[in-house]
């Protein structure tokens, strides 16, 4: 199996690092070599957070390697990684646009949702998922990516990792979110 590099991008508080850990655990459960790395600076203050998960037989340095799959929990952070997408990459992005702190003060131009999605679609096969404030978007996005059949792990592997996370109420909400993410992508594929 060719190594697969998955990038997860968002802002602090969206569960970027949790999503990366769950995907890494699912790969480990499957018996695949896996490397998870994370970059978080202002994560506690709504700043950028990025994690990568490299899955496959031959783990490569993620530095400079094109991203095969992108989970964007915030559109501007997903756009920031667009130039790193490999040809034919897949992107699952949450419909959420949160300008960075200080953007209003600096009067920096902020692209619209449509502009961000157009730029991403020029580089990848994009699947947009809605943002239900009652559900953890990181888990919904993992469910959506798992339904696309691009990962070397299956839904049961990811669900097993999810079921080890938190108490009963958290587990129940996460399993539901994962299922809804899978259904959202499957519904759009059949249109």
The pLDDT of residue 2: 73
Q: Residue 120 and residue 83: Cα distance in Å, rounded?
A: 9
- Give SS3 for 98: coil
Which class for 137: exposed (0-12), middle (13-18), buried (19 or more C-beta within 10 A)?
buried
Domain ranges of the chain: 4-189
Class of domain 4-189: alpha beta
CA-to-CA dists, residue 15 to 73, 132, 137, angstroms: 9, 15, 8
The pLDDT of residue 65: 81
Residue range 125-154, pLDDT digits in tens: 999 998 666 678 999 999 999 999 989 999
Q: Categorize the per-residue pLDDT at 47 as very low, low, confident or very high, splitting at 50, 70 and 90.
A: confident
H-helix segments, the chain: 16-30, 75-80, 103-106, 113-121, 137-147, 155-163, 168-189
């Amino acid at each position: 199996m060719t190594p697969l590099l998955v990038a997860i991008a968002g802002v602090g508080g969206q569960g970027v690092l949790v999503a990366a850990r769950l995907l890494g655990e699912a790969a480990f459960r499957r018996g695949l070599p896996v490397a998870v790395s994370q970059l978080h600076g202002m994560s506690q203050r709504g700043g950028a957070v990025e994690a990568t998960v490299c899955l496959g037989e031959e783990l490569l340095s993620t530095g400079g390697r094109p991203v095969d799959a992108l989970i964007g929990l915030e559109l501007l952070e997903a756009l920031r990684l667009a130039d790193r997408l490999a040809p034919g990459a897949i992107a699952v992005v949450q419909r959420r646009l949160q300008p960075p702190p200080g953007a209003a003060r600096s009067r920096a131009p902020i692209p619209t949702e449509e502009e961000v999605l157009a730029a991403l679609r020029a580089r990848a096969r994009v699947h947009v998922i809605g943002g239900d404030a009652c559900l953890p978007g990181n888990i919904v996005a993992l469910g959506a990516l798992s339904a696309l059949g691009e990962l070397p792990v299956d839904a049961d592997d990811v669900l097993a990792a999810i079921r080890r996370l938190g108490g009963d109420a958290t587990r129940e909400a996460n399993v539901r979110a994962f299922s809804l993410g899978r259904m959202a992508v499957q519904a759009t594929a059949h249109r």
